[in-house]
Amino acid sequence: MKVVIVGGGFGGLKLARKLNNKPGFEVTLVDRFNYHQFQPLFYQVATAGLDASNISFPLRKVFQKSKNVRIRLAELREVVPAANKIITDAEEIPYDALVLATGADTNFFGNAKLSELAFPMKSTVEALQLRYRLLQNLEESLTIKDEAELQRRMNIVVVGGGPTGVEVSGALAEMKKYILPKEYPELDFSKMNIYLLEGGGKTLAVMSDKSARQSQKYLGKLGVKVMTNTVVKDYDGKKVTLQNGGSIDTNTVIWAAGIKGNVPEGIDKDLMARGNRIKTDRQCRVQGYNNIYAIGDLAYMETPKYPHGHPQVAPVAMQQAVLLAGNLKRIERKSTQFFDFEYHDKGSMATVGRNLAVVDVPTPKAFGARLHFGGFFAWMIWMGLHLMLILGVKNRFFVFVNWLYNYVTYDQNLRLIFKEFYRPKRIN
């Protein structure tokens, strides 16, 4: 069976590893990057807490000893279901089974200005671009005499109160408190404002009310100005305009307000659900197709427990990959018994800062509400789980060492600005 997997994220990589060296399968993993990216820690790359290489792992290294998994560095252009093939920017690849695990990209909700001027964090490259902007902005602030312009540069607006928005806001607040005043003594960081704007009534809307309240309390303790029920209407590069008529002057907007599925050409547009996700059945099969599947953030699957689709988080993608791998093996064995997907929620968590995190763990119905942890214990749980999920012993080691160093010294050592340099044309 020729299985083509498009996307080397949590779902696609998990599926490829489950089919690795399994008899009867020829697997092609297609991704536009040659490495797996650990998305939950993008914000630490953006705030100079971790090096990009610490959370990235080469895909080819994962499958060095594989006899049946091959990597293709390419970008998917179109799916051609009638011919059972995909078209990339490099070649055409035939398949017996196609798995779309292309994940999701930033959703700017049709606002072209925000798309052009705000900073998303959906890739390692974008996290590095944000780091460059934050550091370069401070360097340029040293020579600005105009008070209004200086204040604009000292204001940072984070849009979206989900885990990403909460975590990056907390990390920025800790930089402001512990690091930046020592490195930029010319600037008055009491004037630096970090705004977290959330369109709903609370931060961490997908978590419990306790976690939402506690996260806002922690953010307030760090000096973050949390503004709930606040929707961004527009941004012109210098001023954020709010739907309620207010505005915030800022040169830096970090967009963590929404995501949309990366749907390739060739998939029936009638199968699109809210958030640009592809409708699938309980076996991850795209509706209307026999041999095309979608997993992870891209898939929209309705179940009795999740009538509006599953949360777009890594555990869903990995659990769908495990189920699909099992069903593909049954297809290869000519079995007629297949299993439906049921998501087992093992909990959710978010970190706000040093010794500050919130964790929700599901409990049996007899116990009622979720089990909630906050503070230092929750922070330790968060760190331990993320360390286990990172690919590679070396990566885990360096992440742990960085975290330990940062914890002891209250500092990071990755605040580097790499500028473009002039490269003369080669003369033949």
The DSSP-derived string for 99-149 is: EE---EEE--TT-HHHHHHSB--SSHHHHHHHHHHHHHHHHHHTT---HHH
As a whole number of angstroms, the distance between CA 165 and CA 13 comes to: 26
pLDDT for the residue 110: 87
As a whole number of angstroms, the distance between CA 404 and CA 53 comes to: 18
The radius of gyration of the chain from alpha carbons, rounded to an integer in Å, stands at: 23
Q: pLDDT per position in the chain (428 positions), as tens?
A: 999 999 999 999 999 999 999 999 999 999 999 999 999 999 999 999 999 999 999 999 999 999 999 999 999 999 999 999 999 999 999 999 999 999 999 999 889 999 999 999 999 999 999 999 999 999 999 999 999 999 999 999 999 999 999 999 999 999 999 999 999 999 999 999 999 999 999 999 989 999 999 999 999 999 999 999 999 999 999 999 999 999 999 999 999 998 999 999 999 999 999 999 999 999 999 999 999 999 999 999 999 999 999 999 999 999 999 999 999 999 999 998 999 999 999 899 999 999 999 999 987 654 556 789 899 999 999 999 999 989 888 899 999 999 998 999 888 777 887 765 444 444 44
Positive/negative CA dihedral, 268, 269, 271, 276: positive
pLDDT for the residue 371: 87
Q: Is 97 helix (H, G, I), strand (E, B) or coil?
A: strand
pLDDT for the residue 428: 40
By CB atoms closer than 10 A (0-12, 13-18, 19+), residue 408 is exposed
Q: At 74, list the tokens.
A: 């390419």
Q: At 15, list the tokens.
A: 């599926």
Q: Is 186 helix (H, G, I), strand (E, B) or coil?
A: coil
By CB atoms closer than 10 A (0-12, 13-18, 19+), residue 270 is exposed
Q: At 290, list the tokens.
A: 């026999």
By CB atoms closer than 10 A (0-12, 13-18, 19+), residue 213 is middle
pLDDT for the residue 366: 45
3-state helix, strand, coil in the chain (%, to 5): 35, 25, 40
Tell me the backbone φ, ψ of residue 326, rounded to 5 degrees: -65, -40
Positive/negative CA dihedral, 133, 135, 141, 142: negative
Q: Domains of the chain by range and CATH?
A: 2-32+74-106+259-332 (3.50.50.60), 112-257 (3.50.50.100)
pLDDT for the residue 70: 97
What's the order of all strands across the beta sheet hosting 85-88?
Answer: 76-80, 85-88, 92-94
Nearest to 312 by CA among 357, 261, 351: 261
